[in-house]
Structure 1
Amino acid sequence: MSHATFYIIDDADPEARLKLAGQQAAWWYQQGQSVFLLAETREQAEWLDEYLWQQDPDNFVPHNLIGEGPRQGSPVEIGWPGLRHSGRRAILINLSQDAPNFAVTFAQVVDFVPCEEKLKQQARERYKAYRLAGIQLQTTPAPESP
């Protein structure tokens, strides 16, 4: 059964959610998990790609945008709606507005509840969609940034 964790973000900075997604991708990679990071747009995916490249070399996360890198993708693959990720992955980090219909194929889904009201409402709709898909849900405050 799939599980989903919604992180409540108190920071109003639009990049706070993106940075947390990048940090989550790094954490899951360090746990030996393969990750698909689903951005809302290609531009957001490219921002995340650059963000992961800028991390300290000791915390390097092998990653690529869909269509780049090795055939099976690297441990962290970044995509956007309309593209298929390459192969089976354990973790989905969702930044898109909707709950992807393929979320149930992942063991763990990471999603976010931003503090802006419109984005918070979208998170509520994703929560409902995950619940209807039979995914076990939990909500927790976002971890502190390193």
Structure 2
Amino acid sequence: MNTIKFYIMPDSTALENSLFLQAVCQIIARHYHLKERVFVLAEDQLQAEAIDELLWQMDPDEFIAHNLVGEGPRGGAPVEIGWQPSMNRRTTLIHLQQAVAPNLQNYQHVVDFVPADEAGKQQARERYKVYRRLGLTPQTEPYQDDVADPS
């Protein structure tokens, strides 16, 4: 694996709200347009389905070929969304779960998040420490996008 990037989310994007999921979709779009194969590891089935639906609602000019795990073409679409860890190799993992994802070696890039709430921040700190113990050097960057910050 080459990189782990933590996006520090603004106060308006708590993990459970739609602004957070819209921000996730924007990050998925960035990686998709770089021609990366992306796996989105959602917290649960409900979140995976919500991301799937938001991707379908994006502007047709910004279409992102995606599917939920088990649907779509053999081998999956360029963007696959699931709530169970994947054994398949992909370029990028968009990580939305509380615990560190298994099979990190299957990805060149991992995108993780530091939410605004204290409990979420603490969980992100724990993941950060695990990545460091694994010999990885996570980078942090404030998330900035018109979707997450309409001002």
How does the TM-score come out when normalised to structure 1?
A: 0.92
- Aligned-residue CA RMSD in angstroms? 1.4
Between the two proteins, the alignment pairs up a number of residues equal to 144
Partners of 2:23 and 2:145 within 8 A in 1: no
Give the structure 1 partner of residue 65 of structure 2.
Answer: 62
Contact kept, 8 Å, 1:66 with 1:78, in 2: the verdict is: yes
Which aligned pairs between 1:1-146 and structure 2 lie closer than 5 A? 1-13=1-13, 14-81=17-84, 83-84=85-86, 87-146=88-147
The answer to whether the 8 A contact 1:36-1:89 is kept is yes
By how many angstroms is 1:4 displaced?
0.5
Farther off after superposition, 94-103 or 70-79: 94-103
Structure 2 portions without partners, runs of 5+:
none
Specify the SS of the correspondent of 1:58: helix
Structure 1 residue 12: Cα displacement: 3.2
* Aligned sequence identity (%): 48
For 1:77, give the aligned amino acid: E
Q: Aligned partners of 2:57, 2:81: CA distance in 1, in Å? A: 15
Poorly superposed stretches of 4+, deviation over 6 Å: none
User: Matched residues in 1 for 2:56 and 2:105: separation?
Assistant: 29
Please say if residues 104 and 135 of structure 1, whose CA atoms lie closer than 8 Å, have aligned partners that are also in contact: no
CA contact 2:39–2:79 (8 Å) conserved in 1: yes
